[in-house]
Amino acid sequence: MPNPARTGVILAVRVHVAPAVRERFMPLMLANRDGARTAEPGCLRYDVFQDFDDSDCILVIEEYADHAALAAHRESPHYLAWAEFAASLPEGTITRTRWTGVEPYAG
């Protein structure tokens, strides 16, 4: 059960990127990461991982201080550029889950 005292939001985003679009997708994904890390004080973590066995599978872990910080991220130019491209991907390409910390939590 989420701890009501902890307002942070953690997103786990899994993207299956077809080789034909990876060349366009990855620069946008990394620009989104870099923008979130450098321009958003409410972004506590933004990491991009690639599956060892399936280079088409990307995992993104994002952590925001609160829901307002996540909302601010979703209005940023770097997110909007990524989201516009992501909207053109086939349905099911992107899956998202939201998480929050569980006490005791050292984050």
Give every residue of the chain whose pLDDT is below 50, as ranges: 1-5
Contact 106, 20 (CB under 8 A): no
9-99 belongs to CATH 3.30.70.100:
yes
Contact 70, 64 (CB under 8 A): yes
Kindly state the tokens that stand for 9.
């939001």
The domains of the chain are located at 9-99
pLDDT, tens digit (0-9, with 9 covering 90-100), for 80-97:
999 999 999 998 899 999
Kindly state the tokens that stand for 39.
């321009």
Is pTM beyond 0.75? Reply is yes
| Cα separation, 65 vs 10, whole angstroms | 9
Specify the 3-state DSSP secondary structure of 84.
helix
